[in-house]
Amino acid sequence: MPDETIPETATDEAAVEGTDADTDTDTDEIAGEVRDRLALALDVDDLVAGTRLAKALAPYFGVAKIGLELYSAAGPDAIGALTGLGYDVFLDLKLHDIPNTVNKSSRVLGALGVSYLTYHAHGGVDMLKAGVEGLNEGASNAGLDAPDSLAVTVLTSDADAPDHIVPKRVAISLEAGCTGVVCAVADLQEVHHYAPRMLRVTPGIRMAGAQTHDQARAATPAEAIAGGSDLLVIGRAVTAADDPVEAAEQLVAEILS
């Protein structure tokens, strides 16, 4: 993952609505130890609501994930709004189409300033390779660093995938030139075995004892960190809480404990 200094605008108390400057959590410690490894999943259908959440939770998350819901509602404007707040943007579209379409779409998205873009590994080597090439070309044409191309192995809602699927899709992703994979926490060690240098991104993170919703392969933040996850994707565990800021503080406290 990029090791970059977060712009002051992302943590400037005057720019963050709904936060308390006197919280018990040391934001310098968060930035140094945890913040850059946490991705906030903004699974909402309104950019104003998403931006409000992003501002309030900026001290705790260095990455903002835009999924199909928010991208369908706001499109590229969502990317600009979140990069403007100092976030690295994780665009989670799970592209899966013919290679030519994926290549051209990736070229457009690469020029918009995303830091991560997902593809579904089920699309195969040619599709993934076309996506990686388009993504890198788009970023280069815009004078930007190459984003991370992430191949989704098996959805964390899928509890019935055969055991051979993850290693097969990791191998495909590696051959295609992807820089990382998205996998369940339970698959972290297996992914590392086959591709030790690839980024490992884990969704389905829930605090201990919390509701798992539709995540059949959920895990706690502590389990993800212990397993070697490079980026933890946190959504409803924080965003659906009665007090999202308090939930984020509890999340960080659990990781640091």
Domains assigned to the chain = 23-256 (3.20.20.70)
Give kind and range of the element (H or E) at residue 117: strand 116-120
Given phi > 0 = left and psi -120 to 50 = alpha, else beta, which region is 75? left
The pair of structure tokens assigned to 236 is 């409803």
Contacts (Cβ under 8 Å, ≥6 apart) of 211 = none
Nearest to 54 by CA among 30, 20, 83: 83
Residue 150, phi then psi, degrees to nearest 5: -110, 125
**Catalytically annotated residues:** 94
Q: Using one digit for the tens of pLDDT, what is the confidence trace for 75-121?
A: 999 999 999 999 999 999 999 999 999 999 999 999 999 999 999 99
Q: Using one digit for the tens of pLDDT, what is the confidence trace for 113-161?
A: 999 999 999 999 999 999 999 999 999 999 999 999 999 998 766 566 6
The pair of structure tokens assigned to 31 is 């930035």
